[in-house]
Amino acid sequence: MPNIVAGKVAIVTGAGRGIGRGIALLMAQEGARVVVCDIGASLDGAGNDAGPAHTVVAEIKKTGGEAIASTVSISEPGNAEKIVKSALDAFGRVDVLVNNAGILRDRIFHRMSWSDWSDVIAVHLHGSFAMSRACANLFREQNSGSFVHMTSTSGLVGNFGQANYMAAKMGIVGLSRGIALDMARFNVRSNCVAPFAWTRMIDSIPAETEEEKARVAKFREMTPEKIAPLVVYLASDQASGISGQIFSVRNNEIYLFNQNRPIRTLHRSDGWTPEKIAEQIKGAFAASLTPLERSGDVFSWDPL
């Protein structure tokens, strides 16, 4: 099979390091021309450094690929149009957008500040909207295009100290689904991927006992590069007919997540009062209530 995204132009945000870098490199290897977007901020969003984006561009060019760097922040809405324009100026079109950029400001909820909340939402959710909206008219006009958005099992399942991140990542799920529904008529697809990968975002896991060290060694096998094949596939025409879905990659495993649908119903022909609800709802629904689990409780086995 020829390169799966040959001739396409892909914009990848947060592509200077980690998962984004792996996606950008594989996109180029598989024939795409790539816009490498990254401001080079720290994990919590502070500072900027053009070096990582330009380094990835140099890596792509060294192997014969085509790429340009963009180092403006996606959290500022006007910059999305600038990034898309840079892609058009360099390559003449855009076919793929990968919304990968993100920051972390983990805080237990009662200590979370407004800036902890708003800065995370600005990069993850507002940035994903702005970039997607900037590409939408192009995709509509050319009657093709693929969006791939990074969500997280922290949002899909749960985690401590991440209400801001969880809200942003669940918002991205809704954004992706909305795009998929609105743009299906234009042959445009939109999907989410929840990645498991050993990056600077999870490098703080403690490893003191031999058992903990062995587990961490296993987790380190979940390299960022293992996320890229699914993302590149979803960007390709081979993924035709797949839209509005939520996937996950964990080392050598690929998951398809279900989506919210009613699972139980309770009916009274004479209507409800708070007292009647109190009499019946726990007995009817208790076995089906979703427990307060974290991602690690659901994915309780080591990666394969």
The catalytic residues are 165
Look at residue 215 and give its three-state secondary structure: helix
DSSP one-letter string for 251-293: TTEEEE------------TT---HHHHHHHHHHHHGGGSPP--
Other residues' Cβ atoms within 10 Å of the Cβ of residue 246: 20
Among 140, 250, 261, smallest CA distance to 190 is for: 140
Beta bridge partners of 12: 36, 98
In angstroms, the CA 68 to CA 30 distance is: 16
In angstroms, the CA 109 to CA 106 distance is: 9
Residue 108, judged by CB atoms within 10 A of its CB (0-12, 13-18, 19+), counts as exposed
Among 153, 145, 154, smallest CA distance to 179 is for: 145
- H-helix or E-strand containing 298? helix 295-298
Amino acid at 8: K
Where does 30-162 have alpha helices with state H?
51-62, 77-91, 114-121, 127-142, 153-156
